[in-house]
């Protein structure tokens, strides 16, 4: 167990043995459930957002209850409950936790099935884009180096990613008067209603929107 875990009062469990202690999971499983990278999970443990420790065998364990609590706060549902090829896959890149959680709460109320993957910096976002090939990449203001503008420009150099729409919110990257080719530049702050417009346009392009007035399917979150 780490010193930090001991100070936080984490029980001294040898969770290498599955029958011991409360329900736990590994870093990879926690990342999958929350829709973030393993690095972000480790940062969440350090910030106290998740309860985690290392076993005597050197394996990192995360208290499953804390993962489920974090998932509820983020408005994310586990991959087991996320369905549908019709769902729009959105990679949300935002280092501002308050703004990010507010937007996630808005998305959860949409009658549009949307899977959200979360990144807090451009490098993590690049990994998620490569892994999931999302329909939409949203770059919020205030991102760390190399910045959202540099990421958008780099992604647009790869033809295999032409199917991913990119929205760059003013301030999301390094200074420049124009957005990179094929990138939509939007003024800050970007409202949830404006983002919903992008999502619905993408689904309409795929022919996935129900007829006007028809009952809409529930919103889903994927990890």
What pLDDT, on the 0 to 100 scale, is given for residue 47? Answer: 77
- Helical residues (DSSP H) of 61-182, grouped into ranges: 64-74, 97-108, 122-132, 148-155
The whole-angstrom separation of Cα 183 and Cα 166 is: 5
Q: Map out the domains of the chain with their CATH numbers.
A: 3-74 (1.10.1660.10), 88-205 (3.40.50.2300)
Name the region of 207 (left: φ>0; alpha: ψ -120 to 50; beta: rest): left
pLDDT digits (tens, 9 = 90+) for 135-175: 999 999 999 888 888 999 999 999 889 889 999 998 755 45
Note if the pTM is more than 0.85.
Answer: no
The whole-angstrom separation of Cα 138 and Cα 168 is: 6
> Using only C-alpha atoms, what is the Rg of the chain?
19
Alpha-carbon dihedral sign for residues 30, 46, 97, 147: negative
What pLDDT, on the 0 to 100 scale, is given for residue 22? Answer: 80
């Amino acid at each position: 167990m780490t010193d930090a875990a001991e100070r936080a009062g984490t029980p001294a469990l040898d969770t290498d043995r599955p029958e011991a202690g409360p329900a736990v999971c590994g870093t990879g499983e926690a990342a999958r459930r929350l829709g973030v990278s393993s690095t972000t999970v480790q940062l969440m443990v350090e910030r106290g957002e998740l309860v985690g420790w290392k076993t005597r065998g050197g394996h990192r364990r995360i208290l499953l209850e804390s993962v489920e609590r974090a998932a509820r706060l983020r408005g994310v549902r586990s991959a087991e409950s996320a369905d549908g090829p019709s769902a729009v896959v959105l990679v949300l890149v935002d280092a501002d936790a308050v703004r990010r959680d507010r937007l996630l709460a808005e998305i959860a109320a949409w009658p549009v099935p949307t899977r959200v993957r979360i990144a807090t910096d451009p490098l993590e976002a690049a990994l998620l884009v490569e892994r999931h090939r999302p329909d939409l990449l949203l770059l919020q203001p205030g991102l760390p180096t190399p910045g959202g503008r540099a990421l958008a420009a780099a992604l647009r150099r790869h033809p295999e990613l032409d199917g991913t729409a990119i929205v760059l919110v003013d301030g999301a990257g390094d200074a420049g008067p124009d957005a990179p080719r094929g990138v939509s530049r939007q003024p800050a702050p970007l409202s949830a209603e404006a983002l919903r417009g992008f999502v619905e346009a993408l689904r309409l392009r795929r022919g996935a929107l129900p007829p006007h007035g028809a009952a809409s399917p529930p919103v889903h979150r994927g990890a």
